[in-house]
Structure 1
Amino acid sequence: MNWRHESILDGTTFEFPRTGFWIIHVFGGLFLMLLGMRTAVRRAPLPIVAYRLLKMLRQ
């Protein structure tokens, strides 16, 4: 007897990529997001200074 469970992914575009493919893309996305957050934190003082200056000028 030949018993095979049909997957909902069979015949779709998600069928080909395996677990390693998705792991690499998830970690790559996380890496890019963290790199962007690191850059944003490093450049944060300038917007804060500008906000405080504008707030001071409004008073």
Structure 2
Amino acid sequence: MSCHHNNIFDDTTFEFPRTGFWLVHIFGACFFLLLGMRLAVRRAPLPIIAYRLFKLLR
């Protein structure tokens, strides 16, 4: 015997996102961060240090 509860959020856009959703957003945020660091390198010394730090971490 199983107990099934109807959830009004099942199969809607309000349902908790799956792993793929989070992966896309995490990689997208990293991409924009690195892209922004590349563009900021020409303008200020502090982003140069941060850019080099992120480059070393990869």
When normalised by structure 1's length, the TM-score is 0.47
Which one has the bigger helix percentage? 1
- The structure with more radius of gyration: 1
Q: Which one has more relative contact order, counting CA pairs under 8 Å at least 6 apart?
A: 2
